[in-house]
Structure formats: structure tokens, C-alpha cells
A and B are shown apart, each in its own frame.
Chain A
């Protein structure tokens, strides 16, 4: 009976292993989503120029090529984390709770029989990590106005010959999305009513 149980267990174990086929593989590539690169754009009116010129930084070009070839981009480490509101909220709550618990634990330990060196070290590490994490989240939470805000004065700036800069998404699109060919630039501008207020 025991031998039968052992053999059955082995068979089940191997069965599970073979059906699982193991590690989480490479993420499935999205077929429908266009490739995007987050960068910035500066529009500079120049009365002396005799032709429109599009200048692009080498690093942006490298990232563009990487996106086209499907290779990993050189996105900075900081940009690869906390780009999810759900995860950021949960992380913030947990770090807040950690800081609170660490404070209570610290206070209770101090009022006890004395604070050991290990306790002090642990307390300092926890408070430092939680503070830095919370600060990172708060910094990202206070991200400022939407990207369209920086383009609001573009018409006036162009008329006055001033340069305007703001965030831009470089997006690789299929040919049929720009039937006229070339490069298409979309600027988020709000229409203004008679009083000069944005509609």
C-alpha cells in the first residue's frame, strides 16, 4: 500500500511538472498596441531659417530603433517603476503603515527595558526605507499639470516668434494611419471662446 502511495505521488509530481512546463515565459507581445517613446519636443520659430528642420537626439533615436526592433529599451530604472496607479496606491499605503508601526514599535521599545543596537539599526533602516519610498510616491503623486498644459500658449508664442516646449510621445504607427505620408504632429490645444476661456 505504501509503495503504491509512493509511486502514485511520484507520478502525480511528474505529471504536474510536465503540464506546468515551468517558468513564466517572455511576456506575450501585443500585436495591436503601437510602440511609444516618451520624450519632449521644442518648437522654435526661426526667421532666419529657410527650411523646416527636425532634430532628434541620438539617445532618442537609439530608443526608437530599439522599439522598432523589439529589443529592450534603455528606459531609466526610475521610469520603469511606479507607473501603475493601483500598485503605487497599495505601495503608498503599505509604506505608510510600515512607518506608523515602526514608530509605535520604536516608542514601545524605548519605554521597555532598553533599546538594543539591533533594534536601533532595524528601526533606522525601516524608517529610512519607508520615508524614501513614501517621498518617491509623493513626488510622483505631485506630478503637476497634464502634458497639454505646456502647449497652451503655442499659437501666441508662434505669432510672437518665441519658442515653446513640452512633452511629446513619439509613436510608431502603421502606414495607413498617416495616408498623406511623412510625419504627423498633433498638439493638444483647447479651443477658446469669445471671452478667451478654454472650452
Chain B
């Protein structure tokens, strides 16, 4: 066995162990593990994502100017409007139906933004035709208007899976020989999810003895799916979330550092191309990374003082990083 092959096998073995360990912990004590996981990894994974996105940012936008302008403008508008929703909710007395329309409208804006980004990215690939995005977006918008709450819940479960796509694209660039092993290991995830459904579907729902436990079960869709055990819902969501954190915090940085033997440490701003470039922005990058670290520490402090409120604030503001993944993933395709 050659050295690259053995390395790919080790990578695959670690991945399989992580998948099964995450599933076991998520099924065993879903609420407790969820609290600990979010406390420890939510902030750091955002920092690693920020760093990864900065590494993918070109020094000059050039032909991608429209793409990045659309991406950042949409990101700003959608994030602000999403953060404003709870404030508007408290200030108004709209009916549930009125709120469904508001949520459906926001989801539609998100889908339209994604569609425009796909079309703009498609323009940069003259050999391919990406206009399929229009009918797909319209169909997704239609389904969203049928059941906006379920559409939002689908985003909660789909978002952790996007990390696998990032890792796949990253491996194709940096470790092509690992891709086959990675994809084989990835095929285990749906099997594990089915096993979890089989094991947990008959379990009684988790006791919502306090506001925090209630928030966690609601986040996983317990209110929308009352006939499904909340134990099952929280476990599956936590399982996917743990893998998501694992990809961003462990897999992507480690693979990045093993490719180049003389690569700079991840906390060094010079490890980011846009900071290294003669026409780059080293100070801005350093400031952004430092600011990110401050936010991580503030989050940890917030979780320690008032976990429930900090969790709510985090998951509201975290919509920005969910959406930011879209343009950078498109740039990698």
C-alpha cells in the first residue's frame, strides 16, 4: 500500500469513527450533548468559516464584481431583515397566518437571491447552462408558500449537510486521491440516520421541563411535527450539527495544513492569500480575525452567564453564516 493510499484509509477510518461516535452521543443524551456542543463549538466553527471564506476571497473582484456585489448586498439585507423579525413580532399583533406570509416572503427573497447568484456564476462558465436554476427556484418558492414553517425547518436540517459539500470540493482541489474514500464514508450518513430513526422513533418525547429544553426541541421542529418523537428530532439534528462542526473545525483546517508543509499557523493573518498579496489587505484581515476571536470569547461568556438567551441570539445572528456559505460554495463549483 502506498503512502497516499494509507493516508486516505486513515482519513476514512477517522471519518467513520466520528460519524458513529456523533450518532451515539446524539442518541444517548440529546439535550445535554446539544447544550455542550453549542457552547463549545458554535463560536469557533464560525471563526473557522470566516477564515475559510477570507482565504477564498480574491484580492480584486474583476469579472466577479457583480457576483460578489449581489452576494454581499443580499447577505446584508437578508440578515438585517431576519434579525428584525423577532423585534417586529414583539411590536405587532399579527395573526399566525400573517406571520406565515412574512416568513414565506423572507424565504422567497432568500431563494431569489440564491437563484441570481447561481445565474451570475453560470455566466462565468460559458460551456455550461445554469438556467435550470429558474424553474428549480420557482418550484422551491411554490413549496415554500405551501408550508413556510416546514420550509424553514428544512433549512435547519439541510444547512449542516452543506459542510460536506465544501469538504468534497476542498478535497477535489487539495487531495483528489481521498475523494473516493470520502464519498464512500459519506454514504454511511443516510444509513446512520435511518438507524437512528429506527431506534428512536418509538421513544417518548423529551421532557420540556424548562425554557432551554423547550427551545432546543422547537429548533428541531417538535412543534411542527407533533407526531414525531422530539428525542428523534433533536438527536438527528444534533448528529448533523456535530458533523458540521467537525468538518469546519477539524477536517478543513487539518487538510489545509497538511497540504503545504511550510504552511503558516491558522491564526496567522499571513496564512490568508488576500493578506499576503502585495496589493492585499493584511491589516483588515488581521482585524477581522481578531474581531472573530473576540466574538467567540463573548459568546462563551454569554453562554456562561445566560445560556438560553445567548443561544437564541446566536441562532438568530448565525443566519448570516448560513447564507454566506452559498456564494463561496458556488465559487468552488
Residues of A within 8 A of B (CB): 2, 6, 9-10, 14, 16-28, 71-75, 77, 80-82, 84, 86-88, 90-95, 97-99, 101-102, 105, 109, 112, 119, 122-123, 125-126, 129-130, 133, 136-137
B85 at interface, CB cutoff 8 A: yes
Bound form: Cα–Cα A112–B96 in Å: 47
Bound form: Cα–Cα A119–B226 in Å: 38
Question: Which B residues are CB-close (under 8 A) to A125?
Answer: 136
Q: List 10 A-B contacts (CB under 8 A).
A: A14-B298, A17-B316, A72-B226, A74-B227, A77-B225, A82-B146, A82-B147, A87-B100, A122-B132, A133-B146
B155 at interface, CB cutoff 8 A: no
Among B101, B104, B138, B144, chain A packs the most CB atoms within 10 A around the CB of B138
Nearest neighbor of A5 in chain B, beta-carbon distance = B287
Q: Is the CB of A24 within 8 A of B89?
A: yes
Q: Is the CB of A98 within 8 A of B135?
A: yes
Q: Which residues between 190 and 233 of chain B lie within 8 Å of chain A, taking CB atoms?
A: 214-215, 218-219, 223-227
Bound form: Cα–Cα A136–B97 in Å: 20
Given known contacts A27-B99, A74-B226, A87-B100, is B316 in contact with A22 (CB within 8 Å)? Answer: yes
Q: Is the CB of A21 within 8 A of B86?
A: yes
Nearest neighbor of B302 in chain A, beta-carbon distance = A17
Interface of A is mostly: helix
Given known contacts A98-B139, A129-B139, A133-B143, is B131 in contact with A21 (CB within 8 Å)? Answer: no
Q: Is the CB of B145 within 8 A of A90?
A: yes
Among B129, B135, B215, B315, chain A packs the most CB atoms within 10 A around the CB of B135
Q: Is the CB of A80 within 8 A of B312?
A: no
Q: Is the CB of B132 within 8 A of A20?
A: no
Contact with A along B100-133 (1 / 0, CB 8 A): 1100100000000000000000000000010110
Other A-B pairs, 19, CB within 8 Å; known A21-B312, A75-B226: A19-B87, A20-B313, A22-B311, A23-B215, A87-B100, A87-B101, A87-B146, A90-B142, A95-B139, A98-B136, A98-B141, A99-B135, A101-B134, A105-B134, A119-B129, A122-B132, A126-B139, A130-B135, A130-B139
Q: Which residue of A10, A22, A81 contacts B294 across the interface (Cβ within 8 Å)?
A: A10
Residues of B within 8 A of A (CB): 83-87, 89, 93, 96-97, 99-101, 104, 129, 131-132, 134-139, 141-148, 150, 214-215, 218-219, 223-227, 283, 287, 291, 294, 298, 309, 311-317
Q: Is the CB of B146 within 8 A of A109?
A: no
Question: Which B residues are CB-close (under 8 A) to A77?
Answer: 225
Given known contacts A95-B138, A101-B134, A101-B135, is B86 in contact with A20 (CB within 8 Å)? Answer: yes
Q: Is the CB of A126 within 8 A of B146?
A: no
Question: Which A residues are CB-close (under 8 A) to B100?
Answer: 84, 87
Q: How far is the CB of A151 from chain B (nearest CB, A)?
A: 28
Q: Is the CB of B142 within 8 A of A92?
A: yes
Question: Which B residues are CB-close (under 8 A) to A73?
Answer: 226
Q: Is the CB of B86 within 8 A of A25?
A: yes
Q: How far is the CB of A1 from chain B (nearest CB, A)?
A: 12
List 6 A-B pairs, minimum CB-CB distance, nearest first: A22-B312, A98-B138, A72-B226, A94-B142, A102-B135, A95-B142
Q: How far is the CB of A94 from chain B (nearest CB, A)?
A: 4
Bound form: Cα–Cα A141–B228 in Å: 29
Q: How far is the CB of B291 from chain A (nearest CB, A)?
A: 7
Q: Is the CB of B145 within 8 A of A91?
A: yes
Q: Is the CB of B136 within 8 A of A126?
A: yes
Bound form: Cα–Cα A99–B100 in Å: 24
Question: Which A residues are CB-close (under 8 A) to B136?
Answer: 98, 122, 125-126
Nearest neighbor of A16 in chain B, beta-carbon distance = B83
Nearest neighbor of A89 in chain B, beta-carbon distance = B145
Q: How far is the CB of B197 from chain A (nearest CB, A)?
A: 16
Q: How far is the CB of B260 from chain A (nearest CB, A)?
A: 31
Bound form: Cα–Cα A73–B311 in Å: 28
Q: Is the CB of A22 within 8 A of B315?
A: yes
Q: Is the CB of A24 within 8 A of B135?
A: no
Nearest neighbor of A131 in chain B, beta-carbon distance = B139
Bound form: Cα–Cα A24–B100 in Å: 12
Q: Is the CB of A6 within 8 A of B291?
A: yes
Nearest neighbor of B139 in chain A, beta-carbon distance = A98
Given known contacts A86-B101, A91-B142, A98-B139, is B85 in contact with A24 (CB within 8 Å)? Answer: yes
Q: Is the CB of A87 within 8 A of B294?
A: no
Bound form: Cα–Cα A137–B294 in Å: 50
Q: Is the CB of B313 within 8 A of A2?
A: no
Bound form: Cα–Cα A71–B222 in Å: 11
Bound form: Cα–Cα A10–B315 in Å: 18
Nearest neighbor of A123 in chain B, beta-carbon distance = B132
Q: Is the CB of B83 within 8 A of A23?
A: no
Bound form: Cα–Cα A127–B104 in Å: 22
Question: Which A residues are CB-close (under 8 A) to B141?
Answer: 94, 98
Question: Which B residues are CB-close (under 8 A) to A137?
Answer: 146
Given known contacts A27-B99, A84-B97, is B291 in contact with A10 (CB within 8 Å)? Answer: yes
